[in-house]
Amino acid sequence: MLNRITETLLMGPGPSTVTKSVLEALAQPTIGHLDPRFIDIMDNVKSMLRTVFETSNALTMPLSGTGSAGMEATFANLVEPGDRVLVLVNGVFGKRMQDVATRLGGEVTTVEFEWGTPVRPEQVQAALADQSFDVIAVVHAETSTGVGNPIDEIATLVQRTDALFVVDTVTSLGGIPVTVDAWKADAVYSGTQKCLSCPPGLAPFTLSDRARARLDRRTRPVPNWYLDLSLLTSYWEGAKRSYHHTAPINMIYALDRALENVLEEGLAAAHTRHREAHEQLAAGLPEIGLSLFVEPAFRLPMLNAVTVPDGVDEATVRKRLLEEFDIEIGAGLGPLAGKIWRIGLMGESARPHHVERLLDAMKTILQ
């Protein structure tokens, strides 16, 4: 079956096109998960993750599993039955946080916003005036709608409370600034297959010292053995590394290379490249009769929700893009299904020639 795989330009909501050097890193010989050479790679990955997360958190490492494993780990470690959790919801991933926290026995409250619009800080402030929370969670970049939430303002509000602050940065990391320490965020997770241009399979993760102290005070064991941070750190930290589960060695090679690529380019330069690719797309869409769905102030550079014009069958356009042009874009989800396309400009996909290729292909199809 593998002989049917051809290179596709990935311009959907993830995975993004993987950098060649990252694919080469994946193909390096597998070594043991306790081999000192591998431990050096782990340490290098932890250190680079601190740089991209803009944090000095000691507990910073990739978790085995995709971005959702980062979400699961966050709530499984920080929420005990009966804990009060506030989730700000304006799309699929906020909903997923609500689901995860509820399954763990959290007493979950949501403040919900129309999909395609941002979290409104004044409504968050009102919710915080009514009640206190143990954990407050928000998605930085809502990939289901292309909305960037006003994270600095939300962080300021959360800082006035005692709650732990959880931020999902799966889509934002590497594409727009993620400033964990400046937000005073306590648990932040991401994914490899969006703006880092690595295959899916790891969840970069960081936990504040304050959250770690809360974890140490838990009265019950973390209900998820695989993602129990108190066990995982025995493998990822300290002089003596002991086996917990076999690390996905080659995926960690890939992340090591992907992070080196980001740091070689420079975080600020990577953010600029994403913004410029977005501006190029935003300028080109009206020329082919298309427009962006989200208000300009809240548009994400790496995830562009494009309104499907009346009379156009959105699925046919996606099918033709894939079959005739080897380009993948995404469909709308939930209430936005059939109404938008989701065009990802993530990592390697955020390059001028790729944007041009997509615009040309869409023009041909829509004519």
Ligand X SMILES: *Cc1c(COP(=O)(O)O)cnc(C)c1O
Q: Angle CA(220)–CA(226)–CA(227) in degrees, nearest 5?
A: 70
Residue 139 found at the interface with ligand X (CB under 6 A): yes
Residue 94 found at the interface with ligand X (CB under 6 A): no
Closest CA to 174 of 26, 329, 317, 19: 19
Work out which of 10, 158, 170, 196 binds ligand X, going by CB under 6 A. 170
Residue 145 found at the interface with ligand X (CB under 6 A): no
Q: In what order do the strands lie in the sheet with 330-331?
A: 303-307, 340-344, 330-331
Q: How far apart are CA 68 and CA 212, in angstroms?
A: 20
Please identify, among the stretches 28-36, 64-72, 79-87, 291-299, the one whose residues bind ligand X according to the rule CB under 6 A.
64-72
List binders of ligand X among 26-55 (CB under 6 A). none
> Whole-number minimum distance, CB 293 to ligand X, in Å?
17
Residues whose CB falls within 8 Å of the CB of residue 92, separated by 6 or more in sequence, listed in order: 142, 143, 144, 333, 334
Residue 294 found at the interface with ligand X (CB under 6 A): no
Residue 143 found at the interface with ligand X (CB under 6 A): yes
Please identify, among the stretches 138-146, 270-278, 322-330, 336-344, the one whose residues bind ligand X according to the rule CB under 6 A.
138-146
> Whole-number minimum distance, CB 194 to ligand X, in Å?
6
Number of residues that bind ligand X (CB under 6 A): 13
Residue 64 found at the interface with ligand X (CB under 6 A): no
> Whole-number minimum distance, CB 32 to ligand X, in Å?
27
Closest CA to 177 of 260, 298, 93, 268: 268
Closest CA to 345 of 291, 290, 280, 287: 280
> Whole-number minimum distance, CB 254 to ligand X, in Å?
14
List binders of ligand X among 189-228 (CB under 6 A). 191, 200
Characterize 218-238 residue by residue with b for buried, 16 or more Cβ atoms within 10 angstroms of its Cβ, and e for exposed. Answer: eeeebeeebbbbeebbebbee
Own/partner pairs, 315-319, CB within 8 angstroms, 24+ separation: 317/341, 317/362, 317/365, 317/366
Residue 74 found at the interface with ligand X (CB under 6 A): no
Residue 67 found at the interface with ligand X (CB under 6 A): yes
Residue 93 found at the interface with ligand X (CB under 6 A): yes
Q: Residues in the site for ligand X, rule: CB under 6 A?
A: 14, 66-68, 93, 139, 141, 143, 168, 170-171, 191, 200
